């Protein structure tokens, strides 16, 4: 089926997410849609999938204009979406997830056998084998993604949208996904891949559309495209893809971990025998696929969890019984990975967020009372020092963009020359300009002696900022490498356990 978008527009409060976008899609081809975070790619596809109504413009399927009142309509037309954040129900089985909403069965009964059969059949046809009776929570990320794809195929989709599918996959798993995408294309489906990862897009797409600030700025064939050209179209200016990093001059050890261990518990990865040393003025990056222990390691260092084995020392002093409050007092600061849930209190003002953690201290007031004047001064200073673009510090944190929110967190955590910063995915969901700023700020603090424990899923970010890179695989530190001595491909091998793990 041919799908055409004509003059689509969609706004949200304060933001014109999609402005006058017109595109044409032919069957049996593999398209990519690229753009920065916030460029409008996801919104555009949500319009196409019927999850949002457009403010203006129309959608045509095989030449006929269609009105999508909800995703049911899109599904009926044969449009399917594989979401970035899986829309799967953990407590149901794979087959139940696939058929949910279109269940086989009569008189209200659920026909489990038919569901299983359908899952097996599609799985074989498209190379997406999965055990129909497996409860979803037991599946790996790659397998869960296959269930997402099966969901879409079960409903007879011929136009498939993939929204940032490789975010949680390793480079090797991603290659497996690309094989599936090609297979789907070969079977005559239209595939649209939304991504901000240019290397992947260039590896698999035939036609590439670029969006910037809600507008469609160009369509290139694969042959005409390369990373620099695409990046320039996405950002509109020369992009510094890599920030200047002065050579390392590490000082005495700040943080020492010896044999850290954490027992396995539901919802938590385990850690075993993790040992490393972090020095003053050094950035130690920790690479690993989500779920291998990075979150848990960060929680140990910041006092959110207690280790079941081993110890941590800060400047030689033991950190037993560490709590987040005590960690703070000792100079350990934390930029958490989910700024909206754990980094900021969104419904508080910027001022109030900036004193979180110090609300009882002299910076905010005296004798159990908060002095608004003092808080206001503090807020103004930090906001200007850390480039948080805002008119009034009394605004709520919710009103800020992702990049500004992240800078706000940094302003709170980095102010006052802490000894150690634990930064978790500091540039996730942040626009390119803010990424540049954050990287420069981190490196500047590093030059002044800050020790940084950096967790990131962006291998390029780890390579750009780290002096050394540790690899967490299944809860063990399988390697600590010199950042200058590795590249992304090699790191990919380490984080999937293809290298670094002793084989018996």
Partner 1 sequence: MPSPRWRRALSAAGEAVWPPAAALGLSFAIGAAIVAAIDENPLRVLPLIFAPGLGSADGFARVLFDATPLILTGLSVAYAFRAGLFNIGGEGQLYAGAFLAAWTALALPGLPRPVALPLAVLAAAAGGALWGAIPGWLKARFGVHEVINTIMMNFLAVGLTGWLLERFLQEPGQMIPHTPEIPAAYQLQPFAQGPGGAWLGLDRANPLGASLLVALAAAVAVGLVFRRGVEGYRLRAVGLSPAAARYGGIGVGGVTVRAMAVSGALAGLVGVHEVLLYRHRFLDNFSSGLGFLGIAVALMGKNHPLGIVLAALLFGFLNTGALEIDIFTQVPRELVVVLQALIILLVVSFGELALWRRRRRRREEAA
Partner 2 sequence: MIGLLLGTLRTATPLLFAGLGGMFSERGGVVNIALEGILLVGAFAAAATAYYSGSPWLGVVAAVAAGTGLAALHALVSLRFRVDQIVSGVALNMLAMGATEFLMWIFFGSGSNSPRLDSPGLPGAAGRLPVELPPLTLLALLAVPASSWLLFRSRFGLRLRAVGEHPEAADSLGLPVHRLQLYGVLLSGALAGAGGAFLSLNAHYFVKNMSAGRGFIALAALIFGKWRPAGVLGATLLFGFAESLQGHLDLPWLPVRMVQLLPYLLTMVALVGVIGRCRAPAAVGRLFVKD
Tell whether residue 14 is a contact of partner 1 (CB under 8 A): yes
The whole-angstrom distance between residue 69's C-alpha and the CA centroid of its chain comes to 30
Of the ranges 29-37, 80-88, 273-281, 365-373, which one interacts with partner 1 (CB under 8 A)? 365-373
Contact with partner 1 (CB under 8 A) among 69, 369, 485, 504: 369
Judged by CB under 8 A, the chain residues 133 through 152 that form the site for partner 2 are 151
Nearest to 435 by CA among 305, 153, 240, 296: 240
Three-class SS of residue 281?
coil
CB of 92 to partner 2, least distance (A): 7
Three-class SS of residue 227?
helix
| CA angle 155–159–163, rounded 5-degree value | 95
| CA angle 271–272–275, rounded 5-degree value | 100
User: CA 106, CA 99: separation in Å to the nearest integer?
Assistant: 14
Contact with partner 1 (CB under 8 A) among 117, 243, 305, 345: 345
Of the ranges 80-88, 127-135, 346-354, 393-401, which one interacts with partner 2 (CB under 8 A)? 80-88
Tell whether residue 92 is a contact of partner 2 (CB under 8 A): yes
Size of the site for partner 1 (CB under 8 A): 33
Contact with partner 1 (CB under 8 A) among 150, 364, 378, 465: 364
Three-class SS of residue 99?
helix
Tell whether residue 344 is a contact of partner 1 (CB under 8 A): yes
Tell the residue number behind the tokens 């110890």, with chain if given: 311
Contact with partner 1 (CB under 8 A) among 357, 403, 475, 492: 357
Tell whether residue 54 is a contact of partner 1 (CB under 8 A): no
Q: Find which of partner 2, partner 1, none residue 214 binds, CB within 5 to 8 Å per kind.
A: none
> Please, which residue, 239 or 345, has the CB nearer to partner 1?
345
Judged by CB under 8 A, the chain residues 462 through 481 that form the site for partner 2 are none
Please check whether residue 185 is in contact with residue 127, taking contact to mean a CB–CB distance below 8 angstroms. no
Structure tokens at 200: 């992947």
Sheet holding 207-212, edge to edge: 79-82, 159-163, 190-195, 30-34, 207-212, 215-221
CB of 122 to partner 2, least distance (A): 16
CB of 71 to partner 1, least distance (A): 23
User: CA 189, CA 368: separation in Å to the nearest integer?
Assistant: 65
CB of 234 to partner 1, least distance (A): 25
Tell whether residue 13 is a contact of partner 1 (CB under 8 A): yes
Of the ranges 73-81, 330-338, 355-363, 367-375, which one interacts with partner 2 (CB under 8 A)? 73-81
Q: Find which of partner 2, partner 1, none residue 70 binds, CB within 5 to 8 Å per kind.
A: partner 2
Q: Find which of partner 2, partner 1, none residue 87 binds, CB within 5 to 8 Å per kind.
A: partner 2
Judged by CB under 8 A, the chain residues 177 through 196 that form the site for partner 1 are none
DSSP letters, 406-435, are: HHHHHHHHHTT--SEEEEESTTTT--HHHH
Residue 57 phi, psi (nearest 5): 95, 175
Strand partners, 210: 34, 218
CB of 359 to partner 2, least distance (A): 27
CB of 413 to partner 1, least distance (A): 10
Tell whether residue 328 is a contact of partner 1 (CB under 8 A): yes
> Please, which residue, 190 or 353, has the CB nearer to partner 1?
353
Three-class SS of residue 155?
coil
DSSP letters, 323-384, are: -HHHHHHTTEEEE-S-IIIII--TTSBHHHHHTTT-TTSTTTEETTEE-HHHHHHHHHHHHH
Contact with partner 2 (CB under 8 A) among 96, 173, 209, 337: 96
Point out which residues bind partner 2 (CB under 8 A): 51-52, 70-73, 75, 81, 83, 86-92, 96, 100-103, 105, 108-110, 151
């Amino acid at each position: 089926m041919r799908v055409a978008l004509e003059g689509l527009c969609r706004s949200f409060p304060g933001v014109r997410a999609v402005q006058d976008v017109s595109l044409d899609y032919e069957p049996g081809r593999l398209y990519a849609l690229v753009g920065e975070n916030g460029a409008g790619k996801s919104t555009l596809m949500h319009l196409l999938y019927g999850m949002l109504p457009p403010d203006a413009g129309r959608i045509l399927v095989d030449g006929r204009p269609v009105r999508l009142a909800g995703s049911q309509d899109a599904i009926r037309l044969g449009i399917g979406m594989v979401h970035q954040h899986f829309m799967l129900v953990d407590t149901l089985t794979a087959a139940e997830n696939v058929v949910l909403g279109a269940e086989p069965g009569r008189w209200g009964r659920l026909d489990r056998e038919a569901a299983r059969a359908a899952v097996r059949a599609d799985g074989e046809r498209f190379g997406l084998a999965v055990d129909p009776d497996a409860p979803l929570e037991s599946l790996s990320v790659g397998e869960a993604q296959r269930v997402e794809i099966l969901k879409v195929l079960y409903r007879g989709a011929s136009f498939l949208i993939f929204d940032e599918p490789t975010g949680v996959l390793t480079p090797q798993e991603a290659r497996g996904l690309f094989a599936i995408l090609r297979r789907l294309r070969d079977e005559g489906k239209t595939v649209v891949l939304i991504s901000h990862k240019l290397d992947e897009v260039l590896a698999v797409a035939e036609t590439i559309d670029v969006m910037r600030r809600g507008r469609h700025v160009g369509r290139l064939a694969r042959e005409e495209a390369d990373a620099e050209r695409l990046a320039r179209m996405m950002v509109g200016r020369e992009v510094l893809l890599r920030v200047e990093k002065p050579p390392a001059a590490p000082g005495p050890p700040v943080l020492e971990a010896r044999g850290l261990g954490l027992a396995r518990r539901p919802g938590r990865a385990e850690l075993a025998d993790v040992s490393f040393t972090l020095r003053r003025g050094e950035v130690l990056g920790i690479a690993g696929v989500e779920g291998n222990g990075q979150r848990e390691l960060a929680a140990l260092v910041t006092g959110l969890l207690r280790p079941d084995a081993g110890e941590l020392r800060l400047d030689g002093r033991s950190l037993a019984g560490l709590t987040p409050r005590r960690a703070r007092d000792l100079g350990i600061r934390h930029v958490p990975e989910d700024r909206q849930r754990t980094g900021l209190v969104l419904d508080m003002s910027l001022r109030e967020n900036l004193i979180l953690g110090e609300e009882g201290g002299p910076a905010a007031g005296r004798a159990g009372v908060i002095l608004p004047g003092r808080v206001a001064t503090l807020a103004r200073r930090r906001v200007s020092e850390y480039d948080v673009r805002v008119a009034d510090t009394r605004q709520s944190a919710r009103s800020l963009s992702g990049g500004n929110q992240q800078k706000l967190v940094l302003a709170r955590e980095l102010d006052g020359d802490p000894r150690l910063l634990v930064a978790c995915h500091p540039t996730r969901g942040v626009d390119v300009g803010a990424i540049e700023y954050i990287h420069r700020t981190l490196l500047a603090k590093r030059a002044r002696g800050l020790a940084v424990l950096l967790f990131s899923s962006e291998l390029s970010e780890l390579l750009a900022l780290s002096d050394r890179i540790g690899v967490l695989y299944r809860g063990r530190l399988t390697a600590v490498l010199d950042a200058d001595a590795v590249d992304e491909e090699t790191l990919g091998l380490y984080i999937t356990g293809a290298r670094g793990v002793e084989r018996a």
